[in-house]
Amino acid sequence: MTRTVYVNGDYLPEDEAKVSIFDRSFLMADGVYEVTSVLGGKLIDFDGHLARLERSLGELDMQKPEAFDDLLDIHRELVRRNELVDGMIYLQVSRGSAGDRDFVFPDPEEVKPTLVLFTQSKPGLADSPAAKTGIKVISIEDIRWGRRDIKTVQLLYPSMGKMMAKKAGCDDAWMVEDGFVTEGTSNNAYIVKGSKIITRQLSNDILHGITRAAVLRFAREAQMEVEERSFTIDEAKEADEGFVTSASAFVLPVVEIDGVALNGGSPGPVAARLREIYLDESLKSAI
Ligand code: PDD
């Protein structure tokens, strides 16, 4: 089945979809994105992703695409047309194409944003083997820019981080700044000490994960103790458990950091419980 994608108002077969070579996301990484997971044909945490998209656009003084208010319908239409059961919907908005290369932002009256959405099918997304085995991470320096709270398409360094992890025989990298863990290359990072869940406080240093917000809310509702503060990579290596959260991974246990095993190298009970609660609750409110 050919994938149907969405580009600026049109649903098209993927090989007919086109964006200008002058698009600013292509030339300047002048774009923002969201990834929403789909389970059983339904969208998880859609409102959160839409709210963060609006915030990212505002922080970069980028216009909302004309179809902003139709985004839920567009997501659903893509699910329908692609018969998507489990997977993700990727959405990107860029500042558009001014028909040339220029550092100066184009006049928003003349140049409209580019809006692209496509589906990624991942059958059995919620039953990933990594949830049972856990993942191994390495630590790398965080050399990204200072506005990591904006979900921009500048993903070269996170991509390099994944490659560094792969080369080291691991699955992902935790980025570290001044000794403190910021986040994973494409997820938020947590440790567990005793029964306490510790994750970095929100600021411009990390992405304000939609899954993070939901997981912390569910944890508190389940009377689990949560502490939002920075932790060092050394503290992480001595923790009882580690885990990461993201829209595509949900909650994934971390069983090794820089070759140091956590919880004897097996997924820990807190991560396992949070994953279960997150999936149960999110499915209940999926739309
Ligand atoms: N990444 N931190 C970073 C740097 C991320 O790229 C992501 C998400 C997260 C988790 O945010 P959320 O829970 O809202 O997905 C944290 C997405 C999934 C991606 O780039 O594919």
pLDDT per residue over 66-125, tens digit each? Answer: 999 999 999 999 999 999 999 999 999 999 999 999 999 999 999 999 999 999 999 999
Percentage of residues of the chain with pLDDT beyond 70: 100
Q: What angle do CA 243, 198, 240 make, to 5 degrees?
A: 60
User: What is the CA(107)–ligand 1 centre distance, in A?
Assistant: 30
151 carries an active-site annotation: yes
Strand, helix or coil at 181?
strand
User: What is the CA(209)–ligand 1 centre distance, in A?
Assistant: 6
Catalytic residue among 18, 132, 151, 166: 151
The domain in which residue 138 lies consists of: 130-285
Per-residue model confidence (pLDDT) at position 1: 84
**CA–CA distance, 67 with 284 (Å, rounded to integer):** 27
One domain for residues 101 and 171: no
Q: Ligand 1 pocket, 248 CB below 6 A?
A: yes
Per-residue model confidence (pLDDT) at position 101: 98
Sequential pLDDT tens for the chain (287 residues): 899 999 999 999 999 999 999 999 999 999 999 999 999 999 999 999 999 999 999 999 999 999 999 999 999 999 999 999 999 999 999 999 999 999 999 999 999 999 999 999 999 999 999 999 999 999 999 999 999 999 999 999 999 999 999 999 999 999 999 999 999 999 999 999 999 999 999 999 999 999 999 999 999 999 999 999 999 999 999 999 999 999 999 999 999 999 999 999 999 999 999 999 999 999 999 99
- CATH assignment of the domain containing 243: 3.20.10.10
Residue nearest to atom 9 of ligand 1 (CA): 187
One domain for residues 188 and 277: yes
Number of domains in the chain: 2
One domain for residues 80 and 138: no
Q: Ligand 1 pocket, 212 CB below 6 A?
A: yes
Residue nearest to atom 5 of ligand 1 (CA): 186
One domain for residues 185 and 203: yes
Q: Ligand 1 pocket, 35 CB below 6 A?
A: yes
One domain for residues 116 and 227: no
Yes or no: say if 189 and 181 are a contact pair by the CB < 8 Å rule. yes
Q: How many CB atoms lie within 10 A of CB 113?
A: 26
User: What is the CA(182)–ligand 1 centre distance, in A?
Assistant: 13
Yes or no: say if 160 and 194 are a contact pair by the CB < 8 Å rule. no
Residue nearest to atom 17 of ligand 1 (CA): 186
Q: At what angle do helices 46-59 and 71-81 cross, to 10 degrees?
A: 130
One domain for residues 151 and 278: yes
- CATH assignment of the domain containing 102: 3.30.470.10
One domain for residues 118 and 152: no
